[in-house]
Amino acid sequence: MSIAILPSQTVRAIGATQALTDSASLVKELVDNALDAHSSNITIELSTNALDVIQVKDNGHGIAPADHKLVGKRSCTSKIKDLDDLANIGGASLGFRGEALASAVEISGGLVISTRIAGEATGVSLKVSHNGEVENESRTSQGVGTIVRITDFLKSLPVRRQTALKDSAKQLAKIRRTLQAYALARPSVRLTLKVLRAKNDKDNWTYAPKSEASVSDAAVKIIGKKAIDQCQWVAWHVGVPETQLALGSGANAERFSNKDPGYSVEAMIPRAGCGKLIRRFRASAAY
C-alpha cells in the first residue's frame, strides 16, 4: 500500500483515542470540566457496561448561550486564549486543551449537553453531531448547571469497544477509585456514582461531605477511621529551612499551611509502630 493522506474524519477519530483511552478517562475529563465550573455537587451515572450511557451532571455556572455553538468543537476552550496564558494558569484550571467533548463525540454514538446559567428561566438541550456542530437546540427544564450525556461510547472503534466490554467491571472500579481521589483533592464537593439498572447497589458510591470538610474528613470517609488513626500528616515545604513537618496524627490531623514562597507536598503516611501497616508502606516505597 502506498502512502496516502488520511481522511480528516479518520484522523480525528484516531486522535480522539489519545485523549480518551477508556470510560474512566472520559469520566475524569467531564468531572474536570464540572469542577472548573465551580460545582459543589457532581453526579455520575453509568450503564452497567460503562459504555452505553455515560452522564455527568453538575450544579456549576453552566454554559453561556454565546458559547453553545463551540462546545463540541476541537481546540475550543474558555480556559486560555493563547500560549502565553499557560504561564499563568497554574492550578486555576484542570483542563485547557478543548479536546474532551470533541474527542467524545468523534468516537461515540451521540452527545447531548443540557445547560442553564443563572438568570435564565429554562435550560437548553444541545444535540452535537460527530463533527462538533450543534445540530439541534431545544428548551429543557433543569436547574443551573450542566448535564453531559454520551451514548454508545467507542461506537466508531468496534475492536476497542469489544475489548472494553470485557473489562467493564474493571472500568467501574477504576472510575470509583478516580472519584475517591477527587474527594481527597476537593473534600468540599459532593460526588455520587450511580450504576443504572444494576442488579444491586454494590457499585454505587456517594461522598457526602459536611460543611467546610477537610482532607482529613474525606480520608476518614474513604479509607476509614481505623486506618487513619494509624497515620500522620507530613508535609515537605520547599522554601523554609525545616523541610519536613509532622502535623499530628489520625482524624485530628491538621492540614499543612505556610504562606512562604515555594511549594509544599502533603502526605498521610503510617506512623511509627503501627505494625503490619508500616511494613507494607516500606515495601511499597521500595519499588
Q: What is the pLDDT along the chain (287 residues), one digit of tens a residue?
A: 545 555 766 665 555 556 688 999 999 999 999 999 999 999 999 999 999 999 999 999 999 998 898 888 876 776 666 666 666 666 666 766 667 888 898 899 999 999 999 999 999 999 999 888 899 999 999 999 999 999 999 998 899 999 999 999 999 999 999 999 999 999 999 999 999 988 888 889 999 998 889 888 898 899 888 888 888 888 877 765 444 444 454 545 444 444 445 667 778 888 877 766 545 544 444 44
Query: What pLDDT does 269 receive?
Result: 82
- Cell matching residue 97: 486543551
Q: Is 48 within 8 Å of 198 (Cβ atoms)?
A: yes
For residue 74, count CB atoms less than 10 angstroms from its CB and return exposed for 0-12, middle for 13-18, buried for 19 or more: buried
φ and ψ at 263, to 5 degrees? -145, 165
CA-nearest of 58, 47, 35 to 175 is 47
Which amino acid appears at position 135 of this protein? E
Query: What pLDDT does 270 receive?
Result: 82
Query: What pLDDT does 231 receive?
Result: 85
Query: What pLDDT does 55 receive?
Result: 98
Q: Is 27 within 8 Å of 70 (Cβ atoms)?
A: no
Could you give the CA distance from residue 129 to residue 133 in angstroms, rounded to a whole number? Answer: 5
Q: Is 126 within 8 Å of 114 (Cβ atoms)?
A: yes
Could you give the CA distance from residue 134 to residue 102 in angstroms, rounded to a whole number? Answer: 12
Residue length, the chain? 287
Query: What pLDDT does 58 receive?
Result: 97
Could you give the CA distance from residue 133 to residue 76 in angstroms, rounded to a whole number? Answer: 12
- Cell matching residue 125: 438541550
Query: What pLDDT does 256 receive?
Result: 43
For the four alpha carbons of 275, 281, 285 and 287, in that order, the dihedral sign comes to positive
